[in-house]
Amino acid sequence: MTPESTTLAIAYIGLGGNLDRPLDTLASARRMIAGLARVRETAFSSFYRSAPMGPANQPDYINAVMAVETSLPPLALLKAMQRVELSHGRVRNGLRWGPRTLDLDILIYGKLHITDEGLTLPHAGIADREFVLYPLAEIAPTDLEIPGMGRLCDLLIACPRRGLDVVVHG
């Protein structure tokens, strides 16, 4: 499969935010993503609370992971996710890991392993981020092979929860 391919793929999308009622924002983003043409939601994790990864002087994050079946090519899916972010007040100010209303990341897209100018698949941070791995494990097979990284079950063993808490069960 090439990045431009339009065959059906399972993609996992990470959702996160820590400003302006993040539970409501993530629920709204979920509805928008599920309503996109050529995208069908297949699963959604619980909502998790985690400490911020970047600057400490910001609220805790709320995170979740959504599984979708899509015929959108990866870059088109990325553009659609960026439109959803913008519709929820996302401002890209260059501050890495800073506070935000909504952050959407394509974590995995089928078996693709690509590095493109604007998109790396699978997402480079999956293996180290408890706020991605644990929600992902809720909705994906534990023997899921993350291209170039290994099996989800093995990554979970190597990644402690670091205070990650379920806030709302999926």
- Assign residue 150 a region (left: φ > 0; alpha: ψ between -120 and 50; beta: otherwise): left
Q: Which among 103, 129, 162, 165 is annotated as catalytic? A: 103
- Residues 100, 128, 162, 165: which is the catalytic one? 100
> 58: which 2 tokens?
């910001």
Omega before 122 cis (within 30°)? Answer: yes
Catalytic residue chosen out of the listed positions 90, 143, 154, 165: 90
CA–CA separation, 26 and 91 (whole Å): 16
- The strand ranges marked E within 34-168 are 39-44, 47-50, 61-70, 103-109, 114-115, 120-121, 145-146, 150-151, 165-168
Catalytic (active site) residue 100: yes
Task: Check if 21 is active-site.
Answer: no
Is 96 among the catalytic positions? Answer: no
**Is 90 a catalytic site residue?**
yes
Q: Give the C-alpha distances (Å, rounded to integers) separating 54 from 50, 59, 72.
A: 12, 11, 31
**Residue 90 burial (10 A CB sphere; 0-12, 13-18, 19+):** buried
- Residue 101's nearest CA partner among 41, 24, 45 is 24
Catalytic choice (20, 30, 49, 105) = 105
**Residues belonging to the active site:** 90, 100, 103, 105
